[in-house]
């Protein structure tokens, strides 16, 4: 069976783990890495044996492009690739905008006869799938998703994009019942009280932070605080039929970018089995994300 040809766009935390995930996938083959400036490849840690280009067309045939880039860049980049007929997978994580992005990419995918999976991380992503299972198990009730404590990559990247920020780390602290505190540590290009106040204001007004209790803290050395671990706790209490007091709980502790990359890879596998359009994770059949013979998977997992 021919291997799926995969390109990695971007080579930050997720891009590096995507490279490792592709190496372990028996049905995937890396065609190369796409960077805005390929002269930065060594600095970013791209292995020297990997082809690095600035335009994906230089890689020849690509089945799926893994968009390991900031969420805000995803819609434009994905749309351009989908129109060209290249499947895309991303980890877009702005929950409030995800449906609108899905609709935009659906149009591009249909136009290019290609497939997109949007929000293919663990939240949104596999956590959304679990929330769906909990809800159809107890249709009436409440589900609370509690993140952390741990590093939020999406929030951290959003802070790094703010003018005046040299380095950043956003840590999510669960308060319970789905409420969270954001602890944001920043290094500044030019440390001063006025610059810190300006950056702090911009962070708290960002869509990533506007709805949560947010504390911005100046740090002289953000690198000394880095830990890519994260965790989630989901609880649903509800009603199955007319039976009250059904309670479900799900927990996991993870390496954030490694899990995101692995889930994106699984979604990339699923793109090869879908008709043209844009999908969220809850719209994909689980079996399409698994490697192996369908009949063997069914025998093994049911």
pLDDT exceeds 80 at position 133 = yes
Whether the predicted model's global pTM rises above the 0.85 cut: yes
**pLDDT, tens digit, 9 for 90 and up, residues 182-240:** 999 999 999 999 999 999 999 999 989 999 999 999 999 999 999 999 999 999 999 99
Q: What local confidence, expressed as pLDDT, does residue 30 receive?
A: 98
User: Is there a domain that residue 133 lies in?
Assistant: no
**pLDDT, tens digit, 9 for 90 and up, residues 108-132:** 999 999 999 999 999 999 999 999 9
Q: With pLDDT > 70 as the criterion, what percentage of the chain qualifies?
A: 100
**pLDDT, tens digit, 9 for 90 and up, residues 48-58:** 999 999 999 99
**pLDDT, tens digit, 9 for 90 and up, residues 248-291:** 999 999 999 999 999 999 999 999 999 999 999 999 999 999 99
User: Is there a domain that residue 276 lies in?
Assistant: yes
Looking at the structure, do residues 158 and 90 belong to the same domain, yes or no?
no
User: Is there a domain that residue 216 lies in?
Assistant: yes
User: Is there a domain that residue 129 lies in?
Assistant: no
Its domain, for residue 155, covers: 140-240
Q: Is residue 1 very low, low, confident or very high in pLDDT (cuts 50, 70, 90)? A: confident
Looking at the structure, do residues 18 and 69 belong to the same domain, yes or no?
yes
Q: Which of 240, 264, 293 is the last residue of a domain?
A: 240
User: Is there a domain that residue 132 lies in?
Assistant: no
User: Is there a domain that residue 251 lies in?
Assistant: no
Q: What local confidence, expressed as pLDDT, does residue 138 receive?
A: 98
Looking at the structure, do residues 84 and 230 belong to the same domain, yes or no?
no
CATH of the domain at 85: 3.40.50.720
Per the structure, the count of domains in the chain is 2
The string of DSSP letters for the chain reads -PPEEEEEE--SHHHHHHHHHHHH-TTEEEEEEE-SSGGGHHHHT--TTS-EESSGGGG---SEEEE-S-GGGHHHHHHHHHHTT-EEEE----GGGHHHHHHHHHHHHHHTT-EEE-S-BBTTBHHHHHHHHHHHHSSEEEEEEEE-SEE-HHHHHHHHTSTTEEEEEEEEEEEETTEEEEEEEEEESS--HHHHHHHHHHHHHSTTTTTSEEEEEE-S-GGGG---EEEEEEEEEEEETTEEEEEEEEEEEEEHHHHHHHHHHHHHHHHTTS-SEEE-GGGS-GGGGS-S-HHHHHHHH-
User: Is there a domain that residue 262 lies in?
Assistant: yes
């Amino acid at each position: 069976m021919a291997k799926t040809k995969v390109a990695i766009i971007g080579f930050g935390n997720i891009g590096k783990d995507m490279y490792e995930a592709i190496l372990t996938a028996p049905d995937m083959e890396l065609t190369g890495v796409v960077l805005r400036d390929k002269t930065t490849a060594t600095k970013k840690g791209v292995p020297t044996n990997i082809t690095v280009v600035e335009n994906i067309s230089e890689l020849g045939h690509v089945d799926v492009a893994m968009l390991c880039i900031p969420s805000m860049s995803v819609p434009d980049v994905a749309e351009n690739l989908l129109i060209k007929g290249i499947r895309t997978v991303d980890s877009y994580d702005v929950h409030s905008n995800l449906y609108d992005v899905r609709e935009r990419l659906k149009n591009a995918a249909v136009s290019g006869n290609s497939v997109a999976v949007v929000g293919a991380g663990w939240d949104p992503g596999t956590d959304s799938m679990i929330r769906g299972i909990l809800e159809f198990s107890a249709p009436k009730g409440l589900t609370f998703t509690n993140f952390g404590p741990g590093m939020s990559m999406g929030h951290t990247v959003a802070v790094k994009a703010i003018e005046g920020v040299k380095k950043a780390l956003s840590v999510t602290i669960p308060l319970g019942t789905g409420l969270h505190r954001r602890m944001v540590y920043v290094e500044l290009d030019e440390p001063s009280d006025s610059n810190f106040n300006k950056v702090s204001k911009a962070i708290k007004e960002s869509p990533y932070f506007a709805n949560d209790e947010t504390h911005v803290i100046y740090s002289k050395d953000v690198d000394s605080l880095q830990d890519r671990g994260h965790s989630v706790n989901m609880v649903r209490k509800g009603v199955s039929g007319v039976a009250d007091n059904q309670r479900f709980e799900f927990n996991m502790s993870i390496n954030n970018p490694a899990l995101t990359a692995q889930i994106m890879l699984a979604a990339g596998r699923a793109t090869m089995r879908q008709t043209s359009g844009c999908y969220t994770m809850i719209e994909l059949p689980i079996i399409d994300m698994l490697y192996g013979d369908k009949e063997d998977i069914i025998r093994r997992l049911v």
